[in-house]
Structure 1
């Protein structure tokens, strides 16, 4: 199912100059903010959770997911170069799985790792808060990659739609509107942070652990499956 040629092309597309700058800028911003907060005074567990939950999980992680997920396939569809890929003797499901795995790898590296570093800078790994949020960021990265990869196959405005989702739904409604929280990838992933941190960390989610994990799996598998179906609908002329 894993195609090395497709993986190499996808890595090259994601880590090109423009996207690489954005992928580096977002986690760097998170770490810079964490350092600034740490230098301004004493930082306790509550401050750490506010920054990691309200900024890293709600903004940085979904934005990186948008960049990596849509960038894994969207530009090839937009410029028509996808037809050369589809002409290769490779199953389209294999193409989607490969691109998804690459997008997941990139998203995890640029989101989960900086989340842990930011948490450690703020307050060490007190109550395993940094570790808990890093696990949540990694889990969210998987779901975001699948959903935004799917979005890249269904719309030529995938980046714009993804940004609206990340900045309005996840960052705003996902934190402020109780009903919307249950439909937030962020909240699903926080169930794992709650599990890792335990009662001492005080991390909470609007959904239960079993529900959160199930929804993460459904979003990931469902997104990959439907993206494969969408890709099968493309002809070698680049049209559906």
Structure 2
């Protein structure tokens, strides 16, 4: 039933949970918008660097990747907590970390299909030399966002709303106004990875080693604390 801490049954149920709700439809819309805009930019300005950078960074990394991660991750745990069906899953003799890891596999697959692949296609359309860098940055950032939003979905029933506020205010508004936000911004960490591979300037004075370590800590730490929180949920009946 499980391999490497992953339950195939939970993975299947997680996929059904996402694509059986309205979130599944939105996951198809975001890639279409990104690729459509990329085609428009390419038609208007060709392979011009500024247009490619704004489309791939400003829309791809900053909007599409985190929104896909939020939609995918919030559709895995929050609905089960809301309707109480999570209690049946927690009653099974399955490690809480196996449950979280299996759910995150589904979210990661959504990020790969609906965020990373479209970013790669958009980069190939706009500026092929950026393709590998932006694809890798989107993948690492998407995984970090999945772990972060998975933990958020355990903490509150309003994970989507709070996640949107976080993206708009912290990653968007404050990230564009305050230089110090780059040290605590998943999007800026992703951009630092893109810089090193694609040879493009996206974020100032952010070492690659810090960005990679920060992304790894959020991915691993987020999954771990979500499992711990889920174990506590079973014992105390939180939310």
The bucket for the TM-score relative to the shorter chain is over 0.9
Give the whole-Å Cα distance in 2 for the aligned partners of 1:235 and 1:59: 34
**Following superposition, which runs of at least 4 residues in structure 1 exceed 6 angstroms of deviation?**
none
- Cross-structure match for 2:220: 221
Structure 1 segment 14-25 matched on structure 2, within 5 A: 14-25=18-29
TM normalised by structure 2 equals 0.92
* CA distance, structure 2, for counterparts of residue 146 and residue 63 of structure 1: 13
Instruction: Provide Cα deviations, 1:109-163, integer angstroms capped at 9, x if missing partner.
Output: 211110111121223x0xx212211110000011000000110000111010011
Deviation at 1:45, TM superposition (A): 1.6
Q: Which residue of structure 2 aligns with residue 194 of structure 1?
A: 195
- Which residue in the other structure is 1:121 paired with? 125
User: What aligned pairs does 1:76-225 form with structure 2 within 5 A after superposition?
Assistant: 76-123=80-127, 125=128, 128-198=129-199, 201-225=200-224
- Alignment partner for residue 34 of structure 1, among 34, 38, 42? 38
Could you say if the C-alpha distance between residues 7 and 205 of structure 1 is closer, same or farther in structure 2, counting changes exceeding 3 Å? farther
RMSD: 1.7
Gaps of 5+ in 2: none
User: Distance between the aligned counterparts of 2:138 and 2:36, measured in 1?
Assistant: 18
Normalising to structure 1: TM-score of the pair?
A: 0.92
Q: Distance in 1 between matches of 2:32 and 2:165?
A: 22
Conservation of the 8 A alpha-carbon contact between 1:10 and 1:99:
yes
